[in-house]
A = this chain, B = another copy of it.
Amino acid sequence: MLVVMNKQATPEEIDAVLAAIEGKGYAARPIPGGERVAIGVLHNKGAVDASHFLGLSGVQDVIPVTRPYKLVSREFQPEDTIVQVGDVLIGGGNLTLIAGPCAVESEAQCLKIAQIVQRAGAHLFRGGAFKPRTSPYSFHGLGEEGLKILALVRETTGMPVITEALDTDTFGLVEEYTDVIQIGARNMQNFSLLRRAGRSHKPVFVKRGLAATIDEWLMAAEYVMEGGNTQVILCERGVRTFAHHSRNTLDLSAVPVVCKESHLPVIVDPSHAAGRRDQVIPLSRASVAVGAHGLMVEVHHNPEEALSDGAQSLYPEQFETLCREIQAIFDVFHPPHPVQ
C-alpha cells in the first residue's frame, strides 16, 4: 500500500502517518518525490485496510498494491484448475457446454429438453428448482420436486446436472440431488451461503454479481476456497450499465483478465446477459472466442410456453447451430491436443 501525502503536508503530519503505520505493525518507507511525499507500507501480510490511513491529516490518497485474494490467484497456483464432474472436465483446454431450461417445469419438459441439448453436444444439464425472483408474486420454482426431476434427467441421460442453491436452509437439499451447485448473481456476496458452499464436497459455480468488480468476484470464490472446497467455477453473466439494448452488458474483457489473475475456470452465460434470444448466438460465439472455458445457455423446446425467461431461451435448432459454430471457433485457437 502507498499513502500519498498532500503537497502541503507538514513534517509533523508525515511523522504522524509514519507512526500510525508502525502502530499497526507494518513498516513505513517514505518516498520523497519532486512535489510531494509518498509512504510505502511494507511487511503487511495480505491487503492493508485503506481506511486506517485515508482520514489522517495531510493524507491525499491511499493506493492499494497487493491483491486481496490468495487461494484463487494464479500467483498461488500457476496451473489451471480443472474441475471434474462425472466424466466432464471444466477448465484447462476443455470447452464445456451447459444447457437446459431456465426453470424446471415438469418431468416431460426436462426430459425432452435434455434429449435435445445432449444430442446437440451439451455436457451438463441446467434447470432452476429454486428461482430467485424480483417479485414475491412470481413463480419461484418447483423446489424439491424440481430437484427430483433433475436427478431423473441425470439417471436417464447420464448428464450431470447443475442447479442453484438460494439459501443455507435448502443448501443441503440441493447438494444432495445436484452435481454442481450454483451461487446466483444476487447471492455473490451472501457470505453465509459462500461459507456453506466452502464446506460442500461438490463443485460450486459462482456467478458474478451485477455490479461486482473482478476483485469482489474473486473474493467470493476465495470465501469458498478458504472453507476447503477447491472445486470452484466462475461465471460471467453481464453487469449493469447505462446501456439498455440488452438486459445487462456482457463484460467479455473479464474473461482474459480472470484467466490471467486466477487458475479457476470461467464460463459465460450469454442468456441472462442478453435477455433476448437474438443476441444469444452471437454472444455465445464471442464468449468462446474471447477464451471462456465454456457456456451456460438456456434452451427450451417451446419458449413461448416457458414459465420464466422464455424470451431468452434458444429454440432447439438454434442451439444446434450454436454448438457447431462454437466448437469450430474454439478449434481455431486451440491445438487438437491441448497443451495449456
Contact = CB atoms under 8 A, between A and B. Distances in A.
Contact of A191 (B20, B38, B166, B282): B166
A199 interface: no
B244 A241 contact: no
A31 B40 contact: yes
Interface stretch (A48-56, A85-93, A172-180): A48-56
B278 A311 contact: no
Interface in A258-282: 260, 273-279, 282
Interface in A196-218: 209-211, 213-216
Closest 9 CB pairs of A and B: A211-B211, A54-B311, A289-B289, A167-B192, A51-B311, A285-B289, A186-B189, A286-B286, A286-B290
Interface of A: 2, 4, 6-8, 20, 29, 31, 33-36, 38, 40, 42-47, 49-56, 61, 63, 65-66, 68, 75, 132-138, 166-169, 186-187, 189-193, 195, 209-211, 213-216, 219, 222-223, 226, 239-246, 249-257, 260, 273-279, 282-283, 285-291, 303-304, 306, 308-313, 325, 328-329, 332-333
Given A40-B31, A256-B279, A310-B51, A8 B75 contact: yes
B242 A211 contact: yes
Nearest to A70: B137
A291 B29 CA distance: 37
A34 B38 contact: no
Residue from A256, A257, A328 with most neighbouring chain B CB atoms (10 Å): A256
B191 A132 contact: yes
Contacts of A42: 31, 33-34
Contact of A332 (B29, B134, B325): B325
A36 to B, nearest CB: 8
A169 B189 contact: no
20 contacts: A2-B63, A7-B75, A33-B40, A46-B137, A49-B138, A52-B310, A53-B311, A55-B310, A132-B189, A136-B223, A169-B192, A187-B190, A190-B190, A211-B239, A213-B243, A239-B243, A253-B274, A253-B283, A285-B290, A285-B329
